[in-house]
Amino acid sequence: MRHDLEKTLLAKITTLPQLTNSIKTWKSEGKRVVFTNGVFDLLHLGHITYLAKAAELGDKLIIGLNTDASVKRLKGETRPVNDQNNRAALLAALFFVDAVILFEEDTPRELITKLMPDVLIKGADYTVENIAGAKEVLANGGEVKTISLVDGYSSTAIINKIKAQSEVKAEK
| Residue-range domains of the chain with CATH | 2-171 (3.40.50.620)
- The structure's pTM equals 0.90
Q: What is the distance between the alpha carbons of residues 161 and 163, in angstroms, rounded to a whole number?
A: 5
Q: Which residues contact 50 (CB under 8 A, 6 or more apart)?
A: 36, 123, 147, 149, 150
Residue 105 has pLDDT above 80, yes or no: yes
| Amino acid in the structure at residue 6 | E
Residue 166 has pLDDT above 80, yes or no: no
- CB atoms inside a 10 Å sphere around CB 153: 16
Residue 130 has pLDDT above 70, yes or no: yes
∠ CA 32-37-41, rounded to 5°: 140
